[in-house]
């Protein structure tokens, strides 16, 4: 079974991480790199893909 794909998206002047189909972001970060690192860990744990 695979988890929800994780997305890194712009959020105002910050970057957000959210699961596919979720209406709310999981977390917001100051930099895109921080968001990518977090989304990568979530995707690996859930057996999903990371999309930027």
15 within domain boundaries: yes
Q: Give me the pLDDT at residue 2, please.
A: 78
Domain span holding position 35: 6-51
**Per-residue model confidence (pLDDT) at position 5:** 97
* Count of C-beta atoms within a 10 Å radius of residue 23: 5
Assessment of whether the complete model's pTM goes beyond 0.85: yes
Q: Is residue 47 one of the residues assigned to a domain?
A: yes
User: What is the tally of structural domains in the chain?
Assistant: 1
- Residue 42 in any domain: the answer is yes
């Amino acid at each position: 079974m695979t988890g929800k794909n994780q997305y890194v998206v712009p959020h105002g002047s910050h970057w957000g991480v959210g699961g596919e189909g979720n209406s709310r972001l999981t977390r917001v970060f100051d930099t895109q790199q921080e968001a990518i690192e977090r989304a990568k860990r979530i995707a690996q744990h859930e057996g999903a893909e990371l999309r930027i």
